[in-house]
Amino acid sequence: MNDLHTAIEYLKGVGPNKANLLKEELKVFRFADLLQLFPYRYVDRSRFYKISELGQAEAEVQLLGQISRLEEVSARGGKKMLKGSFADDTGQVELIWFKGLRYLKDSLKLKQPYVLYGKPQPYKGSLNFAHPELELHADFKKSPVQGLQPLYPSSEKLQQKGLNNRGIARLTRALIPQVKGKIPEFFPADFLERYQLMGREEAYREVHFPRDLAHMKAARWRLKFEELFFLQLELVRQKQAHQRRFKGYAFKEVGRHFNHFYEKQLPFALTGAQKRVLREIRRDVQQGAHMNRLLQGDVGSGKTIVALMAMLLAIDNGFQACLMAPTEILAQQHHQSLAELLEGTGTSVALLTGSTKTPRRKEIHAALRDGSLPILVGTHALLEEKVQYHNLGLAVVDEQHRFGVAQRARLWKKNELPPHILVMTATPIPRTLAMTLYGNLDVSVIDELPPGRKPIRTEHRYDSHRLRVFNFLKEQITAGRQVYIVYPLIEESAKMDYKDLMDGYESIMRAFPRPAYDVSIVHGRMRPEDKEAEMQRFAQGKSQIMVATTVIEVGVNVPNATVMVIESAERFGLSQLHQLRGRVGRGGERSYCILMSSHKLSKEARTRLQTMTETQDGFKIAEVDMKLRGIGDLMGTRQSGLTHFQIADLTQDGPIVEAARQAVAEILENDPQLQSPAYQSVLRAFERRKAGKTDWGRIS
């Protein structure tokens, strides 16, 4: 009867009332659910704090001292409260009670050593404890509360019914012996040893009642590992299933186009990271399975050249390649840089966008069909039915998050077998998250910038310094440079934001009058043609200042622009700030990013701005972003269901994700279908979890 499925009301100490509350408030229906109600933190009761140490401690602490004063005073609303002082040899704190005054007054003893346990709260410059636990030190010594005490999630309602933290701990304490021998281990013994994992039953016991810090950590590691292991197993199996299911064209040759480009045409030496990624791509496309690879690399890390060389591999093997970008201007820029790189090689590249004129469009269609056009660059226009290839082998997609799954599916249909897909993104995401979110794709990372890049000097300035900032902009413009000034545009406050933008624009026009200066403006309420025209004017150097909302966030390349001013920078997220900064520093000149803000900054905003001034490493910035915002708020992860864990926490558990991924890889390498007898229990546990967890979304 006492197995894990037993209804929670059968646990000693849980009557029908408590059972209902546990179900409603904590979703605890059965023994197993209570077992998996993991402590969110532990307090160390093996140690006494000194009052002088308390400072910012938000957590519960344990003190040893004496009550030096107790008095009943009137509180608001005619009620009484009890106030006291508690002192040790380093200082004094206030104690307050609102209930049980008479009893407390009669039972608490002055000038006797007490053990106090509670949560200090700042109050009028000192600290107070409301309703602390107090126990005479003499009694405490007889049966000390020792070691790490678990803290459980609770709620107002639960607390009223005695199911506060200690109440829940009492239940778990009662539960553990009842389920002894009922918590099956599914990892084989040598697996536990190899990955240094605590046994499952012990882990459940230690997570609720840790013997000491080391056991607590080992228990949590084991349980997190288990959770992440099954997720990684699912992702890796999805990936393998993809490889088995979708055959791809094999690019067996490294031929004339690739070699000629590499030896004669390449304007610089590839970075180590670029070479590594090219090797990864080659390994994929040689095999005859379909490549579905994500290429992450910070702005300016040199993804284009990698994409081009992958395209040359396709051409060497008799295939065509295309590159699709999310906007017309980006497509143009890609077309231009590819054309420059291929200059004199005889390999042609055409541009197809919404604004390509019909005669040219027809030419392109024909050349694609007869195979005389090897490379096509463009926008969504590439997806149209009419765009038919002779033999498309590789599709490169820039900035994937702008494309929907359905659009990508259309790409897949452009040849008999789906063309290999290389998705490039300039939005770095932390490795841990990538392994989870894109765990079913192949991921390549360019984590090294080409040599000789000058760092972009990044400064935080308050609004009151705007005049000085303007003077600096004038110096830069006089020296022939160009400047971006970006305003926030948040949908919820769009109206105010437009007003800010227009006010800002007017004051910039006043500070930078014609004809000495020419100011461009681009925002979402303009017609697309007007936007394009303004962007072009700036790109061609006709205007020196580009005032814009975040629409320029993606991709434009104006190497002569050296200053990025971000207004109300405190309102931008870290990744956006980073993307915006990446618009400068693209030419040979020293570049600057100036983050303007008001004096009123939240702690988080301050951390964001400071992070920006301290580092330019997109992956580091992404880490900080993840820690600040948590996983749920990061781009695209909200609905994925990949980030809801019972005990694991991706913001902290990177090493465990790595370990789990590694373990999965090692197991599947020897036993791809998990057929060996030793892994049958793992497989069964996996299937059970999958059945109960239908929210493991598909991403690719």
Give the residues lining the site for ligand ADP (CB under 6 A): 268, 270-271, 274, 297, 299-305, 426, 450
- For tokens 């820690």, what's the residue? 627
Q: Which is nearer to ligand ADP, 332 or 643 (CB)?
A: 332
Which residues make beta-bridge pairs with 66? 87, 113
Q: Which is nearer to ligand ADP, 427 or 550 (CB)?
A: 427
- CB of 449: closest distance to ligand ADP in angstroms? 8
Please, what is the angle between helix 200-208 and helix 165-178, to 10°?
Answer: 150
* CA–CA distance, 593 with 357 (Å, rounded to integer): 39
Residue 156's CB is within 10 A of a number of other CB atoms, namely 7
Q: Which is nearer to ligand ADP, 235 or 556 (CB)?
A: 556
- CB of 274: closest distance to ligand ADP in angstroms? 6
**Per-position DSSP letters for 551-572, written without gaps between them:** GGGS----TTEEEEEETTGGGS
String of b and e for 378-405 (b: at least 16 CB within 10 Å)? bbbbbbeeebebbbbbbbbbbbbebbee
* CA–CA distance, 696 with 231 (Å, rounded to integer): 8
If DSSP states are collapsed to H, E and C, what string results for 96-123?
Answer: EECCCHHHHHHHCCCCCEEEEEECCEEE
Are 86 and 63 in contact by the 8 Å Cβ rule? The answer is yes
Q: Which is nearer to ligand ADP, 198 or 338 (CB)?
A: 338
- CB of 304: closest distance to ligand ADP in angstroms? 3
Are 567 and 490 in contact by the 8 Å Cβ rule? The answer is no
Q: Tell me the residue nearest to ligand ADP as measured from the CB.
A: 302
- CB of 452: closest distance to ligand ADP in angstroms? 7
- CB of 257: closest distance to ligand ADP in angstroms? 19
- CB of 281: closest distance to ligand ADP in angstroms? 15
R_g of the chain computed on alpha carbons: 32
* CA–CA distance, 626 with 427 (Å, rounded to integer): 13
* CA–CA distance, 449 with 301 (Å, rounded to integer): 5
- CB of 335: closest distance to ligand ADP in angstroms? 13
- CB of 340: closest distance to ligand ADP in angstroms? 9
- CB of 275: closest distance to ligand ADP in angstroms? 9
Q: Which is nearer to ligand ADP, 205 or 303 (CB)?
A: 303
**How many alpha carbons lie under 13 Å from residue 619 in its C-beta half-sphere?**
13
- CB of 302: closest distance to ligand ADP in angstroms? 3
Q: Which is nearer to ligand ADP, 305 or 314 (CB)?
A: 305
Q: Which is nearer to ligand ADP, 39 or 302 (CB)?
A: 302
- CB of 565: closest distance to ligand ADP in angstroms? 21
Q: Which is nearer to ligand ADP, 332 or 415 (CB)?
A: 332
Among 60, 55, 112, 61, residue whose Cα is nearest residue 86: 112
Q: Which is nearer to ligand ADP, 303 or 414 (CB)?
A: 303
- CB of 31: closest distance to ligand ADP in angstroms? 53
- CB of 450: closest distance to ligand ADP in angstroms? 3
With the CA atoms of 333, 338, 339 and 344 taken in that order, what torsion angle do they form, in degrees rounded to the nearest 10? Answer: 160
Q: Which is nearer to ligand ADP, 300 or 541 (CB)?
A: 300
Task: Locate 488 and state its tokens.
Answer: 């926030």
* CA–CA distance, 14 with 649 (Å, rounded to integer): 30
Please, what is the angle between helix 328-342 and helix 303-316, to 10°?
Answer: 60
Q: Which is nearer to ligand ADP, 191 or 258 (CB)?
A: 258
Helices then strands, each counted (H, E), the chain = 24, 22
Give rounded-to-5 percent helix, strand, coil for the chain. 45, 20, 35
Contacts 24+ apart (CB under 8 A), 579-582: 579/299, 579/426, 579/427, 579/553, 579/554, 580/484, 580/486, 580/550, 580/552, 580/553, 581/456, 581/458, 581/612, 581/616, 582/298, 582/299, 582/300, 582/426
* CA–CA distance, 541 with 562 (Å, rounded to integer): 12
Q: Which is nearer to ligand ADP, 51 or 299 (CB)?
A: 299
**Per-position DSSP letters for 135-178, written without gaps between them:** EEHHHHHHS---SEEEE----HHHHHTT-SHHHHHHHHHHHHHH
Q: Which is nearer to ligand ADP, 18 or 303 (CB)?
A: 303
- CB of 273: closest distance to ligand ADP in angstroms? 9
Among 521, 484, 515, 518, residue whose Cα is nearest residue 502: 521
Among 311, 314, 312, 308, residue whose Cα is nearest residue 252: 314
Are 123 and 94 in contact by the 8 Å Cβ rule? The answer is yes
- CB of 133: closest distance to ligand ADP in angstroms? 58
Q: Which is nearer to ligand ADP, 279 or 627 (CB)?
A: 279
- Give the SS3 label for residue 521: strand
Q: Which is nearer to ligand ADP, 227 or 398 (CB)?
A: 398
Tell me the Ramachandran region of residue 115: left when phi exceeds 0, alpha when psi lies from -120 to 50, beta otherwise. beta
